[in-house]
Amino acid sequence: MTAPTDATETAEAPRALHPEIARRRTFAIISHPDAGKTTLTEKLLLYGGALHLAGTVKARRAERHATSDWLALEKERGISVTTSVMQFDYHGFRVNLLDTPGHGDFSEDTYRTLVAADCAIMLVDNRKGVEERTRQLYEVCRRRRLPIFAFVNKCDRVGQEPLELLGLLEQELGLPVVAAMWPVMENDTLQAVVDRRRNIVHWFQRGGDHGASRVAIETSPLSHEDIARHTSQSVADKTFDELGLLDAAGHEWNEEAITTGALIPLYFGSALTNFGVEPFLDDFLKLAPAPTPRAIEGGVADPGDEAFTGFVFKIQANMDPKHRDRIAFVRIVSGHFEAGLQATLGRTGKPLRMNLPQTFLAQERMHVDDAWAGDVIGLHDRGTLRIGDAIFTGKPVAFADIPRFPPEHFSRITIKDPLRRPHLDTGLRQLAEEGAIQLFKGDPQASVPDIVGAVGQLQFDVLLHRLEHEYGVPAKLSSLGMSHARWIEGDAAAVQRAIMMRDRMLLYDAKDRPVLLFTNGFAVRWAERESDGLVLKEFPD
């Protein structure tokens, strides 16, 4: 990075930070599986101009298909198993969209991604309301005080009454919900949305391409006569009755409460048909917070600080299988990043030159010369970086809120062809560095691990698929029948006494630290009560 040549140039740099940071929006989409999260993501990209056609989904700069689900297994099963990062511009905003896995077995990836987000869109199926997985992810957001924007999806189908859904959301989430836009429904199908703050109605025109392109919208002032003209007298009566109830008994609009996560704005639409997507995106980006300060040990890192700081929240191997690459995803917390920036890696204290930075549209990638607080960039990495690593150019910083999870499933891994063992070891090591699995050994003297741990059972399916298709190693797993892990500390006699009990197994992690496995929670609680000089920890120090 070229140093400023005079005082005027030095003064320009911090002034340039603020307008760039102010236009950044970095958010995650959370939902229960099958709520339409990947479809909504695709449509936001469509309206952002990042895609030509949804469904065909061709990126602007390449002819390859580029959906947020880019792993082969995701395409085969139709589920998201890894977070995708997508960046695009929309009406002056620079949008960093983080599409997270919906399935609970991939909670680690989702929770770490939420640390990198400044707010979240919570997607709700209009037929099912708040489902279990949505509730879990919402609680994570609430603990982090992330602002939440609720989007009721699938309004192209018969579902629950809007007023009933609003009440259920408040009851389930325990926070007030305010209707930012209200649906105009005819024959249980969405025809328009009312913008309650601006007193206008967005009428949607059905196209013949099944939502592959932007839907045409006609906007008109809100009036009973206009709704009756577009639909029927009964629909107009029902819509105005509902709007009257909202005005009389609903919560008042409060932007400060929204940006602090104390009030949830509610929107309605259909990601499949594109109805309601554009009005929602326009409103959401204006209301969503710009990059926010982050807690660090001993204080906070402010986005407007001139010094660069960032943290690694995700590592992905083999995004380009032809080149066996490894990408570390970095959320920029403060300052201005330029390609080739010389920084310090906090964990080692060693210098780190950040060459060949990239931005992403799912699997598609583009070189980036500079980026600002709020952006997510990818760095080519040869194994130097780890999840949670802090990177900085000024005084040392450490980010303490990267979540960790103990594995709940344990299996021994075997292969038929011993000549493929080096390939297996490489695959296990790289996937463990991603955070996709954890590695253990049954014998501390063993040279390589042969036991894998995962938070969710589906992670094992992903592991076997990726080992075979990315590393050429077909493998098999056999369960150990254990479900709880505790890292242990104590003298040799205490450890020996602990492993002699029933329903326990002693393993060693990748750093040769002893880990005691238990068959159930009762066995853990019994061991904690009868520790006899043994210290049990859910996570290692």
Local confidence pLDDT in tens for the 541 residues of the chain: 333 334 333 344 455 688 999 999 999 998 877 788 888 988 888 888 776 555 433 333 343 333 444 445 444 544 444 557 888 899 999 999 987 664 444 556 777 788 899 999 999 999 888 777 777 778 878 888 899 999 999 998 888 999 999 999 999 888 999 999 999 999 888 999 999 999 999 999 887 666 778 888 999 999 999 999 999 999 999 999 999 999 999 999 999 999 999 999 999 999 999 999 999 999 999 999 999 999 888 888 999 999 999 999 888 877 666 656 788 899 999 999 999 999 999 999 999 999 889 887 756 778 999 999 999 999 988 888 988 899 999 999 998 766 667 788 999 999 999 899 999 999 898 888 877 788 999 887 777 888 999 887 878 888 898 899 888 999 999 999 998 899 988 887 877 777 777 778 999 988 888 899 999 888 888 888 877 778 888 877 6
Name the residue type at position 184.
Answer: V
- For residue 470, give the 3-state DSSP assignment: helix
Number of H helices, E strands in the chain: 14, 31
Residue 341 is part of which domain span? 294-392
Beta strand spans in 246-318 (E)? 264-268, 294-296, 299-301, 309-317
Q: What is the pTM of this model?
A: 0.79
Residue 1 is assigned to a structural domain of this protein: no
Clarify whether residues 216 and 362 are in a common domain. no
Instruction: Give the bridge partners for 93, in sequence order.
Output: 90
The last residue of a domain, from among 259, 287, 315: 287
Clarify whether residues 283 and 300 are in a common domain. no
Clarify whether residues 113 and 259 are in a common domain. yes
From 314, 267, 315, 317, select the one nearest 288 (Cα to Cα).
267
Q: What is the pLDDT of residue 56?
A: 38
From 130, 149, 162, select the one nearest 242 (Cα to Cα).
162
CATH code where residue 518 lies: 3.30.70.3280
Determine the Cα–Cα distance for residues 100 and 361; give it in Å rounded to an integer.
14
Sign of CA dihedral 174, 175, 176, 180: negative
Clarify whether residues 85 and 130 are in a common domain. yes
Number of domains within the chain: 3
Clarify whether residues 208 and 137 are in a common domain. yes
Q: What is the pLDDT of residue 64?
A: 37
Residue 169 is assigned to a structural domain of this protein: yes
What angle separates helix 37-47 from helix 277-287, to the nearest 10 degrees?
Answer: 80
Determine the Cα–Cα distance for residues 72 and 78; give it in Å rounded to an integer.
10
Clarify whether residues 317 and 367 are in a common domain. yes
Q: What is the pLDDT of residue 31?
A: 83
Beta strand spans in 381-497 (E)? 390-392, 409-414, 438-441, 451-454, 476-479, 484-489
Residue 399 is assigned to a structural domain of this protein: no
Clarify whether residues 193 and 91 are in a common domain. yes
Determine phi and psi for 444, rounding to 5 degrees: -65, -20
Burial 205-223 (b: 16+ CB within 10 A, else e): eeeeeebbbbbebeeeebe
Residue 368 is assigned to a structural domain of this protein: yes
Token duo for residue 248? 């009389």
Residue 338, class by beta-carbon neighbours within 10 Å (0-12 exposed, 13-18 middle, 19+ buried)? Answer: middle
